[in-house]
Structure 1
Amino acid sequence: MPAGAHVVNNGAAALALVTSALAVGREVVVARGELVEIGDGFRIPELLESVGARLREVGTTNRVRVDDYAAAVGDETAFVLKVHPSNFRVTGFTSSVPVAELTALSVPLVVDIGSGLLAAHPRLPDEPDAATALRDGADLVTASGDKLLGGPQCGLMLGRADLVERLRRHPLARALRVDKLTLAALEATLRGPTPPVAAALAADAADLRARAERLAAAVADVAAASAVASVAAVGGGGAPGVELPSAAVSLPHDLAAALRTDAELPVVGRVEGGRLLLDLVAVAPDDDAALVAAVRRAAAGRG
């Protein structure tokens, strides 16, 4: 089936446009455990209702089955919505329904993957991605263009060409469109050099440790520095609970303020166990020399 894509100004706008185009005055079937808050007090159920849809909640907070969805689907159903809780995890006695099972229902399936991962990533085995969702039969996938994709803030809608065209021609699409700078930044993310998010996810812990040892040695004459193992979080509203093996330069904690306020290169680390840690998973190798210079300036100012 032909596929299409459309871009709006953020992930919430993508879901609002889908709902406006397909579900005004009709029902959207969604699991209770997927009625998430997406930040700054905004909530998925209120977003859907604000553009004219009625919610049909199924399952419980922690468990939902395909039979729950099937029993709720009827003549008033516009689509089934599956929402990935991309900024939190529910563990223990839980169950959800995979995309492939939901495609057996007789209505369109919209999958909001949240964090914008376009293809499966070996370090993020539990994070849904657009390619897999579409291959498993989703009619539309909505996602953010920042977060795990690492591009500009925008909202992506991918899927059936006929549905995407309905979205593109809907009157609300004009109000939610992005400008040329956003489109250029998104194209550069997809076709240009590796963005920082992708580079950080691919970083090798042994390489990071070797860099940390070199950097610690480069500032050891002005500060008590050492290379230590570290654990990094993905952050940015994606892959909650995932830990990335990393390495950091450990420094005296009293350098933290001076580094944060450095006029040439502000450096933000974290204080842990009484030490300031500069985790190198968030530092590009090309910036190592500048980082050394910033530490040396901070140490000189402390003296």
Structure 2
Amino acid sequence: MPTPTPAASPDPRRNIPRMDELLQLPEVAAARECLAEHTIRAIIQDTVSQARRGGVPISELPAAIAQRLGEKNSHSLRPVINATGVIIHTNLGRAPLPSAAVEALHDAASYTDVEMDLESGKRSKNRGAGATAALLAACPGAEDALVVNNGASALLLATAALAPGKEVIISRGELIEIGAGFRLPELIESTATRLKEVGATNRTHVADYERALGDNTGAILKVHPSNFRIEGFTSAVGVDELHRLAARHGTRLIVDLGSGLLTHDPALPEEPDIHAQLRAGADIVIASGDKLLGGPQAGILLGTKDAISAVKKHPLARAVRIDKLRLNALEAAISTPSNAVQDALHLDHENHRARTEAIAEAVGAHVVAHDGRVGGGGAPEYPLPGFAVSLPEHFADALRRQEPSVVSRVHQGRCLVDIRCVPAHQDAAVIAAIKAVG
């Protein structure tokens, strides 16, 4: 008589509860207070899939779901402590907003009078009037202003509006590429506008522009090199000379500064400012709101009434329109007496040293001289003398994984913690993070 085949052991995956049962867990009911139903279902389904693969013991499935729901936020961006010494750090969101701008974001988050005249109850055409007024008060050389989504859209709009179907003359030394492979020429030529390159990479003269001007010229464009510097045998044409040339030939002059410095700052002696470019004769000056200006992401156009009027009327102006939250935040950032960017740029040298030494003493490390940077394309390579706590290189990775994350700089085999951009009330958090690693 043949030996009977033993019965196959039951598959433990059959014990996984059904979705409708898991949706009745008390932790799921609590999670519905802050998470959408589709988010909850996705977390449960993913955890169940892990259990089917053996990654989560089936007996621990409810606890695993509860843990993941408890750790899940409705948003994914995490605040970090910027200990790199770079003020406008693009990877960390550029300029941190001043408290007045944060409050302005909150106030604009619900219904607002963004396009309504509350006196008459009718639709208003003064969208962004507050931000415009703040910009004009801070930069009296401008006759009018417009705020759009970001710096790239401001440049796209200006060239499309002032040189529709025509040529924009630009020096070859200003055909730049910035972060993430973004190339200025490709942006401009994505519309019907065409670029006409003049001069050489290192030297461009006024005669080069003169020869390029013709009936098909729509504008002259001058671009601040932003994130690189050409040294040695070089020459470039200033805004004042280009203005005189443009005026003689009846064309417009656009200046793209990028960095957003409204007026001259002695701390950055070589960084061009918007007011000076307007005074020198630019029809439109373009800048970003989230760099040296210290506000939210925005593309700012300041210039003559005639030039700004042409930009406002262009169909692209609607496509690149900025939202109500950032309009309010930009107005507040301009109107407040101080912001984090200016504080970090003008920090007290001795106070910086004392705070750094206190942190170093608390964690058993030493202090080294360290030059900070503006970042974000502002004042490229210009040093901002200061100090840093020097730690072993492996600390950088571990600090970045802390909560809150502390992002430092790795240089010459050392982890450097520079608190130039760290508010004083966060010094204790930096010390705690370093101690946790060490």
TM-score (norm. length: structure 2):
0.64
The partner residue of 1:52 within 192, 217, 234 is 192
1:124-167 superposed Cα distances (whole Å, 9 cap, x missing partner)? 22221101100111111011112222221211100001211221
Q: Work out whether residues 86 and 114 of structure 1, in 8 Å CA contact, stay in contact via their aligned partners in 2.
A: yes
Q: Structure 1 residues 250-259 or 229-238, which shifts more? A: 250-259
Does 2:436 match 1:292? Answer: no
Q: Work out whether residues 256 and 268 of structure 1, in 8 Å CA contact, stay in contact via their aligned partners in 2.
A: yes
Does 2:400 match 1:256? Answer: no
Aligned pairs for 1:1-303 (under 5 A) are 3-105=143-245, 106=247, 107-192=251-336, 194-220=338-364, 225-263=365-403, 265-299=404-438
Whole-Å separation in 1 of the counterparts to 2:392 and 2:179: 35
Whole-Å separation in 2 of the counterparts to 1:259 and 1:246: 21
Specify the SS of the correspondent of 1:104.
helix
Q: Structure 1 residues 60-69 or 283-292, which shifts more? A: 283-292
How many pairs are equivalent? 294
Identity of aligned residues (%): 55
Change (3 A) 1:2 1:254: closer
Specify the SS of the correspondent of 1:101.
helix
Q: Structure 1 residues 188-197 or 228-237, which shifts more? A: 188-197
Whole-Å separation in 2 of the counterparts to 1:2 and 1:138: 10
Amino acid at match of 1:266: S
Whole-Å separation in 1 of the counterparts to 2:277 and 2:163: 21
Whole-Å separation in 2 of the counterparts to 1:5 and 1:237: 23
Q: Structure 1 residues 245-254 or 51-60, which shifts more? A: 245-254
Q: Work out whether residues 28 and 81 of structure 1, in 8 Å CA contact, stay in contact via their aligned partners in 2.
A: yes
Q: Work out whether residues 302 and 308 of structure 2, in 8 Å CA contact, stay in contact via their aligned partners in 1.
A: yes
Q: Work out whether residues 162 and 252 of structure 2, in 8 Å CA contact, stay in contact via their aligned partners in 1.
A: no
Aligned-CA RMSD value: 1.7
RCO (CA 8 Å, sep 6+): is it higher in 1 or 2? Answer: 2
Specify the SS of the correspondent of 1:209.
helix
Change (3 A) 1:49 1:248: same
Amino acid at match of 2:299: G
Change (3 A) 1:193 1:289: farther
1:166-207 superposed Cα distances (whole Å, 9 cap, x missing partner)? 211221111100101111221222112522221111123322
How far 1:273 sits from its partner (Å)?
A: 4.0
Q: Structure 1 residues 237-246 or 40-49, which shifts more? A: 40-49
1:261-299 superposed Cα distances (whole Å, 9 cap, x missing partner)? 112x21111233443211121212222122222223333
| Unpaired segments ≥5 residues, structure 1 | none
How far 1:13 sits from its partner (Å)?
A: 0.5
Q: Structure 1 residues 79-88 or 1-10, which shifts more? A: 1-10
Q: Work out whether residues 114 and 144 of structure 1, in 8 Å CA contact, stay in contact via their aligned partners in 2.
A: yes
1:239-270 superposed Cα distances (whole Å, 9 cap, x missing partner)? 2111110111223334333321112x211112
1:50-102 superposed Cα distances (whole Å, 9 cap, x missing partner)? 11112222111111111221222222211111111101111111100111111
Amino acid at match of 2:345: L
Going by fraction, where is strand more abundant, 1 or 2?
1
Whole-Å separation in 2 of the counterparts to 1:66 and 1:46: 25
Specify the SS of the correspondent of 1:146.
coil
Whole-Å separation in 2 of the counterparts to 1:232 and 1:30: 32
Q: Work out whether residues 145 and 302 of structure 2, in 8 Å CA contact, stay in contact via their aligned partners in 1.
A: yes
